[in-house]
Amino acid sequence: MKNTVLAFFFLAFAFAMSTELTPSIAAAVPVMDSNGFPVTNGGIYQIFPAIKGNGGGIVTAALGNETCPVSVVQTPSNVNLGLSFYIRVNSRPLADYVYPTDSIDIVLIVQHLLSGWLSF
């Protein structure tokens, strides 16, 4: 009897470990951009409100006593798309698309006005 109970718990544990407890990424739908296309890993995008008329894109600005524009704010103008952002999946760097369950990095791309170089 003792061996039967032990064998049952071993088989139950083995079955639990062999089944996937979380939804499969293959079955998930990738995150879509405002044009209905999947957000690509490593793609460059502008970030703005999903509902049109609620302001513009994301930009840097000097607020308060700041001498340089180091704050990140949303523009009030609907026509200003703001700065570009580089989006990459840090948990799956070779992935083609971004999924809702992915851990991502969003990196602001800043262009230096004098030399023209990009910094990430």
Domain ranges, ordered by start, for the chain: 30-119
pTM (two decimals): 0.62
Averaged pLDDT score across all residues of the chain:
77
Three-state SS annotation for the chain: CHHHHHHHHHHHHHHHHHCCCCCCCCCCCCCECCCCCECECCEEEECCCCCCCCCCCEEEECCCCCCCCCEEEECCCCCCCECEEEEEECCCCCCCECCCCCCEEEEECEECCCCCCEEC
The structural architecture, per CATH, of the domain 30-119 is Trefoil (2.80)
- For 63-90, how does the pLDDT look when each residue is reduced to its tens digit (9 = 90+)? 988 888 888 888 898 888 888 888 999 8
The model's confidence at residue 9, banded by pLDDT at 50, 70 and 90, is low
